[in-house]
Amino acid sequence: MANTKVNKSVAEINERIRRGDAVVVTAEEMVEIVREKGEVGAAEEVDVVTTGTFGAMCSSGAWLNFGHADPPIKMQRVWLNDVEAYTGVAAVDAYIGATQLSETRGFEYGGGHVIEDLIRGKEIVVRATAYGTDCYPRKEIETVVTKDDINQAVLCNPRNAYQRYVAATNSRDETIYTYMGTLLPNYGNVTYSGSGALSPLHKDPNYETIGIGTRIFLGGAQGYIFWEGTQHAPTKAMGTIMTVGNLKEMDARYLRGATIEKYGTTLYVGLGIPIPIINERVAKTTGVSDENIKTNLTDYGIPRKDRPILREVTYAELKSGKVEIDGIEAPVSSLSSLKRAREIADILKKWIGEKQFFLSQPVERLPTDQVFKPMKQITAVPFVRDLMTRDVVTAKPSDSITSAAKIFAEKNFDHLPIIDKKGKLVGIVTSWDIAVAVGTGKKKLSEVLTTDVITATEDEPIEAVARRLDKYGISGVPVVDARGELKGILTSDDLSKLLGGRKR
């Protein structure tokens, strides 16, 4: 690292906190200070910058130890309020994960809610089964506990505090329900997450001060960073951290169980990191504004790992509540709470001011060059183009019902795509439509065709189309290109080829 004009150690800053003359500001205040005084001036003046975020962090959960029953049990499976916890460890240890669903209440209650109920001091029904051993003979147990009855309740989150996250929208002509919330059709809205200028990891993206052992605000108590988070991708400004803290000391205001509609349950985690301003480099990064924090506006309408990116947006645009897509303003929803993120940064500032919180020098730095790899797959996933029928019999809107009836009688299929002179799909007619047309004395296909057709494209994964067939209760979809020209047809008959072991 290059030499810096300002050099302060964490120990010196802690000494100032102890004396009561440390200058502590929130990251939002720091943006203004750096703008006014420059990074060197800001580094000379400010000792600590506090950050905060309050958002859905699915990779969260808690380790619990229930103590031993008499006679003792080696829990093989355990449920807390009907939500299963992982117990493939020692006899009465279990990990309750935020996204695990209740076996009786589904999406309305999950591991995140169990964690919130524990913090609130509510009674939790514990049910466990076991195979029984000579030392642990008991095969089942049911009891009721609160956080005071159990030995340890430790919040232990494998992936928290994403430095930033993509913003989501939806190109499809139907509403979709994603982990980024409800996305309206035809780019009808945009959702995003993260606190931008207050985002903890975005304020020290080079990990000069944040590392293993950093003391943080976690769920209303003091917690720690103990590793880089899973999927840590610092080179793409998508760093993450693993965090740990005593659940028994936490506050449900900063740890809330939640439901994302038609997606699942999660845990909203409140987290803040105090950043010691050890030099002007750190002053500069803590002073980055929402206008300079960019993320990708991504199309969640395409259910692939690499979803198409529409364009870059700044957190300033996102926070304004409107984002322009193709010249039209789309309303924006934040999924994380900026108001509560500010509250957390303010609490950290207050704790430090009142000498209740001191900064820690990390014992190791977090990696700055790690990449996030995709899953290694050993079987190929089929796409629409691999299974669709290309040789499609079609008709024109002006064709007669009789001619269509003849086609259905001669060929063994149920869907007749209707195209215009340029080959564009204009509708579809099924054998059932023809039966109805004959019964009601209709003459032309234009009188019976369905114009609102559910379609697929060639590069879609088969799973996505199978989901669509199921959702709309249909047995086939025409395959079209971007211009709406008919390329083929995919029916449930084509899908059944998969079960027949067809190789690509």
Partner 1 sequence: MTRKILLNYTTKTTEPILASVIKETGLLLNILYAEFGTRGGEILLAIDAPDKDVNKVIELFKRKGIEIKEIKRAIQLDRDSCFDCGACLSLCPTGALYQTEDKSVKLDEDKCIYCELCVPSCPVRALKLSKF
* Closer of 86 and 179 to partner 1 (Cβ): 179
Which residue, 22 or 190, is less far from partner 1 as judged by CB?
190
CB 496, min distance to partner 1, A: 35
Residues 256-275 touching partner 1, rule: CB under 8 A, are 256-261, 266, 268
β-pairing, 425-430 vs 181-183, is unpaired
Distances from the Cα of 440 to the Cαs of 401, 430, 436, 443, 444, in angstroms? 11, 15, 6, 9, 12
Q: Shortest CA distance to 49 belongs to which of 288, 251, 234, 222?
A: 288
CB closer to partner 1, 156 vs 258: 258
Q: Choose one: 17-25, 72-80, 187-195, 492-500; the region binding partner 1 (CB under 8 A).
A: 187-195
Residue 56 in tokens: 């859905």
Clarify whether 156 is annotated catalytic.
no
Give the closest residue to 375 by CA, choosing from 444, 306, 429.
Answer: 306
Min separation Cβ 306 and partner 1, Å: 25
CA angle 270, 276, 277 (to 5 degrees): 130
Question: Least distance in Å: CB of 295 to partner 1?
Answer: 17
What x/- string results for residues 240 through 259 when contact with partner 1 is judged by CB under 8 A?
Answer: ----------------xxxx
**3 state SS of 55:** strand
| SS3 of the chain: helix, strand, coil, percent, to 5 | 25, 35, 40
Q: Does 164 bind partner 1 (CB under 8 A)?
A: no
Residue among 9, 156, 167 at smallest CA distance from 95: 156
CB of 399 to partner 1, least distance (A): 26
Nearer CB in complex with partner 1: 273/335: 335
Q: Pick the closer one to partner 1 by CB: 318 or 366.
A: 318
Q: Is residue 173 a contact residue for partner 1 (CB under 8 A)?
A: no
Q: Which of residues 47-66 bind partner 1 (CB under 8 A)?
A: 54-56
Residue type, 98: A
Residues contacting residue 391 through CB under 8 Å, at least 6 positions apart: none
| From 135, 375, 380, 482, the catalytic residue | 135
| Minimum CB distance to partner 1, residue 21 (Å) | 30
Site for partner 1 in 299-328 (CB under 8 A): 321
Contacts of 451 (CB under 8 A, 6+ apart): 426, 427
Cis bond before residue 71 (omega within 30° of 0):
yes
Of 254 and 383, nearer to partner 1 (C-beta) is 254
CA distances for 72 relative to 69, 126, 135, angstroms: 5, 15, 8
Instruction: Say if CB 139 and CB 131 are below 8 A apart.
Output: yes
Site string for partner 1, 355-374 (x = CB under 8 A): --------------------
**In contact, 194 and 336? CB cutoff 8 Å:** yes
> Dihedral, CA atoms, 134, 140, 145, 151, nearest 10 degrees?
20
**Site size for partner 1 (CB under 8 A):** 30
By CB under 8 A, the residues from 188 to 217 that bind partner 1 are 189-191
Segment interacting with partner 1, rule: CB under 8 A, options 9-17, 181-189, 369-377, 445-453: 181-189
Q: Is 182 in the site for partner 1 (CB under 8 A)?
A: yes
Closest approach, Cβ 440 to partner 1, in A, equals 17
Choose between 190 and 310: whose C-beta lies nearer to partner 1.
190
Non-local CB neighbours of 392 within 8 Å, separated by 6+ positions = 417, 478, 486, 488, 489
Residue 425 Cβ vs partner 1, minimum distance, rounded to whole Å:
25
Nearer to partner 1, 259 or 492 (CB): 259
Give the 3-state DSSP-derived string for 381-418, with helices as H, strands as E and coil as C: CCEHHHHCECCCCCECCCCEHHHHHHHHHHCCCCEEEE
Minimum distance, C-beta of residue 329 to partner 1, in the bound complex (Å): 11
Segment 325 to 344, residues that bind partner 1, using CB under 8 A: 330-340, 342
Residues forming contacts to partner 1 in the complex (CB under 8 A) are 54-56, 181-182, 184, 189-191, 256-261, 266, 268, 321, 330-340, 342
What positions carry a catalytic annotation? 135
